[in-house]
């Protein structure tokens, strides 16, 4: 009996050594090659490439100026208006006594929604930008031309990111002024908010690159990325407090999933910085492990682009561009 | 190092779904198929050598070009550029695939500037102007590419491939859509540059003009590879006749097809181009032609195109057997 168990264990170990380890080594090598070698070898080139890609993207976006204006200025307003109407209705009917949950009250709900809209805009722009760009570039064959040049694919994430950040800048300034007029905050709080926005944007762009890769390599699966994005949006609580998510099981599963979502953590940090005492929440608890949400956000934002580039590189090599 | 570009036993297999005209069946009972676009291809290009890649449509020319520049990963085999893997030699390669790979929603200048910066070209402004002058697209440089004619797009695509002055040029039908004068000028310039070039083309005169060596590819295999002169020797003993017939041309065509001594026939209405194996067979043909109303008969020197057709047809026969 004992011999049999030992033998099974040995077989498992042997399997791990023979089958699993070489595969793990190969994945590690590929990752090293795809991610680390390029950017570490030449930082200046990476920075130049990011700016070059950003410049090109801005020029492409400005080709049709009216569409650009509507997309970046009007769409966010359209997104926020229904929520403002619903919240106003609720507070008017209850004479301001209705408790939605979290920090939302009849005094600050517009600002609460504006912060949510900022985040939602950054998230949506980051997540969707690669999909539309890749599908266009796939048929123009320019994506191939770009990758024929000796660039690191990380520059693609940040290049597109910089161009998108520039594109939404007018909207950002306009609503930033409105938000600061509604509830002025100190410069240190503004800096924390900008940092968190940057982190959320990096995560969104990385997710966007993965979704974009799916569209590029297998256009059939494009809708799946849309469903995934809708799921993340739901669990990011852009327009409602987390406490509004119903308690379904004793583990409070919906709220727990939302807390695992780094985008929600970013939204939560900015809201507590804006409405609270100026410091991000000290810790969140995943299971039994307490983690500082800002550290969690920074860690995810650091790993996400690397994973996205790795996935893109791998799919590029295995599948090549399909669909034309 | 002798060879600048080396492909060793390169095989590329594409897996795809077979489509029929029955959409219902395609959706519920899909048939997966694989297609061997390249089959154990090995070849090499020496420094400063120009190699022409000729082949019928779908023979694997573009796939091979894409594998050589790293856009496609070979299923098997290795590709070395300057002794290094392709991904480490991207700076040395310039690729032009027809008139694609340019942003239609940008101006010509913005296109060239973008790629020049990605390749780290320092004085990109002067380089862009130099290339624009050479290709004769200076006056269109600040217009959006979507307004360009086909030929201007081809010129811009070529300028894009050459923007970083690469050592190796992979050109897939570079003169597609260009007027004859421009085609000749580009050929002259490619020759003058003295670069290592892989040229994919359907124009035989272009291949003959430019190439030190020609590789003929069919069904993903290189079936012949030699200098243009040596390839032409294959058809050296052949006789090429141009005929103009009046009357029943179809009957003549059918009769010619049955004759073993006729190597190849190309027709255009009442004009026939016939290649005979040997001069000794000429009498047999003339005897056959007495039954038809022959208006004109000319003899001409066999060309590279004849050699190409003969090699491809011989391969076809081999495959049928």
pLDDT of residue B114: 95
Q: Which of residues 46-65 of A touch B (CB under 8 A)?
A: 48-49, 52, 55-56, 59-60, 63
Which is more confidently placed, A11 or B28? Answer: B28
Residues of A in contact with B70 (CB under 8 A): 148
DSSP letters, A100-132, are -STT--TTTHHHHHHHHHHHHHHHHHHHHHHHH
Provide the greatest CA pair distance for chain A.
Answer: 77
Check: pTM over 0.90? Answer yes or no. Answer: no
Q: Å from A81 to nearest chain B CA?
A: 34
CB contact under 8 A, B90 and A150: yes
Mean pLDDT, range A306-313, rounded to an integer: 88
Using CA coordinates, name the residue in chain B closest to A322.
Answer: B16
Q: Which of residues 124-143 of A touch B (CB under 8 A)?
A: 140-142
Q: How far is Cα of residue B296 from the mean position of the Cα atoms in its chain?
A: 33
Phi, psi (degrees; rounded to nearest 5) at B300: -140, 165
Instruction: Give the model confidence (pLDDT) of A231-261 as tens digits.
Output: 999 999 898 888 888 877 777 788 888 888 9
Could you give the CA distance from residue B274 to residue B271 in angstroms, rounded to a whole number?
Answer: 10
Give CA angle at B97 (B203, A222), nearest 5°.
140
Domain ranges of chain A: 52-318
Instruction: Give the model confidence (pLDDT) of B122-166 as tens digits.
Output: 899 999 999 999 888 999 999 999 999 888 888 899 899 999 999
Using CA coordinates, name the residue in chain A closest to B101.
Answer: A142
Report the percent of chain A where pLDDT is more than 70: 78
pLDDT of residue A184: 85
pLDDT of residue B11: 92
Q: Å from B118 to nearest chain A CA?
A: 6
Report the percent of chain B where pLDDT is more than 70: 98
Could you give the CA distance from residue A321 to residue A217 in angstroms, rounded to a whole number?
Answer: 5
Beta-carbon count within 10 A of A64 CB: 12
């Amino acid at each position: 009996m004992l011999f049999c168990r030992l033998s099974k264990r040995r077989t498992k170990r042997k399997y791990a050594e023979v089958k699993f380890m070489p595969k793990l080594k190969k994945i590690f090598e590929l990752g090293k090659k795809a991610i680390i070698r390029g950017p570490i070898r030449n930082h200046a080139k990476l920075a130049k490439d990011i700016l070059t890609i950003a410049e090109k993207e801005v020029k492409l976006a400005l080709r049709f100026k009216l569409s650009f204006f509507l997309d970046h200025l009007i769409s966010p307003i359209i997104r926020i208006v229904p929520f403002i109407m619903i919240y106003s209705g609720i507070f008017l009917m209850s004479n301001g006594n209705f408790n939605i949950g979290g920090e939302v009250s009849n005094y600050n709900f517009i600002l609460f929604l504006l912060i949510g809209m900022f985040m939602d805009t950054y998230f949506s722009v980051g997540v969707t930008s690669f999909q539309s760009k890749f599908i266009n570039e796939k048929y123009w064959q320019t994506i191939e031309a770009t990758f024929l040049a000796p660039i690191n694919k990380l520059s693609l994430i940040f290049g597109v990111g910089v161009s998108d950040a520039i594109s939404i800048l007018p909207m950002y300034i306009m609503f930033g002024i409105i938000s600061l007029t509604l509830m002025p905050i100190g410069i240190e709080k503004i800096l924390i908010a900008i940092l968190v926005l940057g982190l959320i944007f990096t995560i969104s762009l990385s997710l966007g690159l993965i979704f974009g890769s799916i569209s590029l390599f297998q256009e059939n699966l494009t809708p799946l990325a849309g469903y995934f994005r809708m799921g993340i949006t739901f669990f990011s609580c852009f327009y409602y407090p987390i406490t509004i998510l119903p308690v379904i099981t004793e583990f409070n599963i919906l709220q727990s999933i939302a807390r695992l979502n780094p985008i929600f953590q970013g939204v939560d940090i900015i809201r507590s910085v804006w409405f609270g005492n100026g410091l991000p929440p000290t810790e969140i608890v995943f299971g039994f492990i307490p983690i500082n949400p800002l550290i969690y956000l920074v860690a995810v934002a650091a790993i996400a682009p690397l994973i996205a580039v790795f996935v893109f590189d791998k799919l590029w090599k295995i599948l090549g561009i399909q669909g034309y | 190092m002798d060879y600048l570009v080396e492909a060793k036993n390169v095989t590329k297999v594409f897996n795809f779904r077979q489509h029929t005209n029955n959409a219902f069946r395609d959706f519920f009972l899909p048939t997966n198929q694989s297609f061997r676009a390249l089959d154990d291809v090995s070849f090499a290009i020496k420094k400063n050598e120009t190699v022409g890649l000729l082949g019928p449509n779908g023979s694997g020319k573009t796939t091979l070009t894409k594998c050589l520049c790293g856009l496609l990963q070979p299923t098997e085999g290795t590709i070395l550029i300057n002794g290094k893997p392709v991904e480490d030699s991207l700076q040395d390669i310039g690729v032009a695939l027809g008139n694609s790979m340019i942003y239609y929603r940008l101006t010509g200048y913005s296109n060239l500037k973008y790629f020049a910066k990605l390749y780290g070209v320092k004085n990109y402004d002067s380089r862009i102007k130099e290339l624009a002058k050479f290709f004769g697209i200076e006056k269109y440089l600040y217009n959006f590419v979507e307004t360009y004619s086909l030929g201007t797009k081809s010129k811009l695509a070529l300028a894009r491939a050459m923007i970083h002055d690469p050592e190796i040029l992979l050109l897939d039908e570079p003169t597609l859509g260009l007027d004859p004068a421009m085609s000749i000028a580009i050929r002259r310039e490619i020759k003058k540059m003295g670069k290592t070039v892989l040229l994919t083309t359907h124009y035989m005169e272009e291949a003959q003009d430019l190439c030190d060596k020609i590789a003929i590819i069919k069904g993903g295999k290189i079936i012949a590879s030699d200098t243009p002169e040596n390839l032409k020797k294959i058809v050296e003993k052949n006789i090429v006749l141009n005929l103009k017939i009046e009357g029943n041309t179809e009957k003549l065509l059918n009769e010619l097809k049955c004759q073993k001594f006729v190597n190849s026939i190309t027709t255009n209405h009442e004009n026939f181009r016939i290649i005979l194996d040997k001069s000794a067979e000429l009498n047999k043909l003339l005897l056959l032609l007495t039954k038809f109303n022959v208006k004109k008969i000319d003899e001409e020197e066999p060309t590279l195109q004849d050699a190409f057709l003969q090699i491809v047809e011989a391969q076809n026969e081999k495959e049928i057997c």
